[in-house]
Amino acid sequence: MKARVIYNPSAGREQLKRNMIDILQILEEAGYEASAFATTPEPKSAAKEARRAAISGFDLIVAAGGDGTVNEVINGIADLEKRPTVGIIPAGTTNDYARALKIPRASLLDAARVIAAGHEIPMDIGRANQQYFVNIAAGGYLTDLTYEVPTKLKTAFGYLAYLVKGAEKLPNIKPIHMHIEYEGGVYDGKASMFFVAMTNSTGGFEMLDPDIVLGDGKFSLFVVKTANIFEILQIIGSVLNGGKHIGHSQVLYAKTNFVKVESKDNQRIMINLDGEYGGDEPTTFVNLQQHIKIIGNRYDYAEAIDSQAEREAFMDMMDDLQAEKDKTE
């Protein structure tokens, strides 16, 4: 089997470069012929390499870096008929997707060991017009923080850089007339921002949707209908307080397999895809159910599932996937 590690050399205060030999050794010991590719400033460098590796027959592609690196790797392979398994070594600022899959974020080598264990999880992928995302899409005020904060500030100050920038932008929030269509409904009115989520982890928050089920083919749609600073802060507080924002009077919440968004008052809505700029509306988001197998932390992930029945079903699914993998090796 062949594995290609695609890594951002500037992520994680350049820790990836210092640990790359050990990461490759862990993959080699797991039976892979492992090699590495350092991304360059060239646009879509990670996406191009992921596509090349997939077409060349690599069995595993490891996205090593932040959420942006993961997004690029997925965009490089999502439209291919034969898609390799994807592993993740988190080395970014928030690492939301790795957090959702219970992948260790404190140790690059522990994350590599999770990949070596090889427990694959069939994950939904979102398509936004002609682009793809794995964790969350968003639009409106404050959703542009991730690509407005300079890379040097993120490297130096981490998540604190987002908080400082967010506080700076709060007084400028204004409502936008949005037309949003989704499975079973339409919202046409003023709103400050919206979120289309596939996990419950975004921006460092882990309770965006306490009821989310990974791989169920559904987005969690949130529309924040208010532009009042105090109400927005109240909603953020409700997110931190166990996901109680879902019942807030100024939040529209729905489960849906598609979302269509457009501005109705000529105000520009920039679309954020996994923390990267993904163009402007109008945008149609479609959920591609269990489109790519991504390696997660089997045991920690199972512990995060609430009911015993769900846990047993999950473990049975993982055992079946492992059996299928063993047959092909």
Query: Which of the following is catalytic: 49, 72, 276, 281?
Result: 276
Report how far residue 94's alpha carbon sits from residue 202's, in angstroms, rounded to the nearest whole number: 8
Active site residue 324: no
- Residues labelled catalytic: 276
